Amino acid sequence: MSDASTSAALEGARAWFADLEAAFAAGDVTAAAALFGDESYWRDLASLTWNIHTAEGRDEIAAMLTAVGPEAWPRDLEVTGAADADGVTEAWYTFRNRAFHGKGLVRLRDGRAWTFLSSAQGLNDFPEPAGRRRERGAEHGVNVSTENWLDRRSARAESFGIDEQPYVLVVGGGQGGIGLAARFKRLGVPALVIDKHPRPGDQWRSRYHSLCLHDPVWYDHMPYLPFPDHWPVFTPKDKMGDWLEHYTQIMELDYWPSTEATSASFDEDAQQWTVRVVREGLELTLTPTHLVMATGMSGIPSVPRLPGQEVFRGDQHHSSQHPGGAKYAGKKVVVVGSNNSAHDICADLWQNGAEPTMLQRSSTHIVRSDSLMEVVLGPLYSEEALANGVDHETADLIFASIPYKVLPDFQRPAFDEIRERDREFYAGLEQAGFQLDFGDDGSGLFLKYLRRGSGYYIDIGASELIAKGAIRLANGQVSHLEEDAVVLDDGTRLEADAVVYATGYGSMNGWAAKLISQEVADKVGKCWGLGSDTTKDPGPWQGELRNMWKPTQQENLWFHGGNLHQSRHYSKYLALQLKARFEGLETPVYALAETHHTH
């Protein structure tokens, strides 16, 4: 881009922000809203609304600004960079308000805002102890304590959760809970993570032998500690498990392994939870103020109830319990499902000498890993992106700046390109009888993930095995099981020594039902999904993911999860919301989402 073009973009952006700041200074919400286009979106990540909320259109933007009040409006607005692309000016800016300092990205069309992102980056009065604010770590002089760092750390580990109660209890010690706990630790929020496994990272170590991340390394960094630059593009499961264990130690997290929560209840008068846990066989009671369910983006495994399951003579298990293909060498295994886990398990079975049959019950979106990295993720998460000055934190904000309402329009051209460049690949799958789709509206992988959390596979090799018949394919619904077979509705009989149910998971609020009560789970409602009124994502439109990283209808109950990218990015906003509450700040929540679906 030429210097003249860049200068013009900066000039136009600065003029627009000057008008916005003048409108705010005058207390004129109407004038501020008039700076937004006929189609416009203001997406706020905690900084104005103490929520994760998108206001759509001038009327909603004006209503949001009126409700949150002048002290929440952005001020000290400063444009830090701008560029033009296809008639749209994209401009980065920084701001402050009463509570936060923040950062955002605006897209201007014809002199008015089309999309506007405001994100909280830190609390003004409670900065993180980083850089010049870091702790000394040692005391020098004649009055030095006899306790060293290890003594203090050991004493806290012995007493925390027993003599001192955590302000936040995080249930689930996978990558999501660990990354969130690191945010709390940096912010000085007393938080305890509990997990049923013996060691951090065991969630990964316990999975089937061949498992590795399907997302590339640039997309998967943890908060504060990026992977080193020699890290493999796709992280093997045991390597990921070891990273999480060492991360927990390096970040000095309060983490209880071999601990399972058995019940929880909320006292509205005391504004605290009573959570009963079993830690290494010992029953304990914790009384945190806030409870975070960090059990991933999924709920309890969904295992279908089918006639004849009780007479089937072989193994039956959900994909989450799959022990690996080596156990089934030389045996016939029917895998019910056709999404990521089903493909991985079928490939693992084939590699170990088993005879897998994949049962596809509905169409599936497939995208080759290389194509996904080059066409979709490459501009934001890749070595090329880094060379262009786009690190993962910048990329997170760029992606977050695209409102979910228009995200399909941003994604569709990329997947149209993929469909064309990989047409021979798709033709081979269709010739094998595989039923393909690109989402209800052709918008591809990420929208399917956001809307329903299922219905896709990132191909790392299993699709080729299907195309050439190494993984057998069947289509239809299960009628019943017999002693040695799975029988479909059309009478097709699939001989089987084992059945793997790669049938997905329920909503995260299922964990709340199990731990707290069905009443609370129903009060909170379904987690995940946008209300797009597409397959498995019923309306009405929500504008944001249901119940994720933000206040819910149940006081002091929060949900944290998603892939590594989402867990990393949105953990910042969840942690800041709870830090503010810990410090006693006023946190008036704007537009607390209503509950429309219980599961």
pLDDT tens per residue across span 476-505: 999 999 999 999 999 999 999 999 999 999
The pLDDT of residue 210 is 76
The pLDDT of residue 141 is 66
Does residue 343 sit in helix, strand or coil? helix
The distance between the two most distant Cα atoms of the chain, rounded to a whole number of Å, is: 86
The pair of structure tokens assigned to 48 is: 């104005």
Q: How far is CA 475 from CA 363, 408, 435, in A?
A: 10, 29, 9
The pLDDT of residue 1 is 52
How many Å apart are CA 217 and CA 201, to the nearest integer?
Answer: 17
Q: Which helix (H) or strand (E) holds 316?
A: strand 315-318
Strand ranges (E), 188-289: 191-194, 255-256, 259-267, 272-279, 282-286
pLDDT tens per residue across span 564-582: 999 999 999 999 999 999 9
The residue type found at 236 is P
Q: Which helix (H) or strand (E) holds 569?
A: helix 564-582
The residue type found at 269 is D
Q: What are the φ/ψ torsions at residue 195 (nearest 5 degrees)? A: -150, 145
Residue 167's Cβ-side half-sphere holds a number of Cα atoms within 13 Å equal to: 16
DSSP assignment string, 77-116: EEEEEEEEETTEEEEEEEEE-SSEEEEEEEEEETTEEEEE
Pairing of strands 36-45, 52-56: antiparallel
Q: Please answer whether residues 186 and 534 qualify as being in contact, where contact means their C-beta atoms are separated by less than 8 angstroms.
A: no
Q: Please answer whether residues 181 and 194 qualify as being in contact, where contact means their C-beta atoms are separated by less than 8 angstroms.
A: no
Which residue ranges in the chain fall short of pLDDT 50? none
The pLDDT of residue 144 is 66
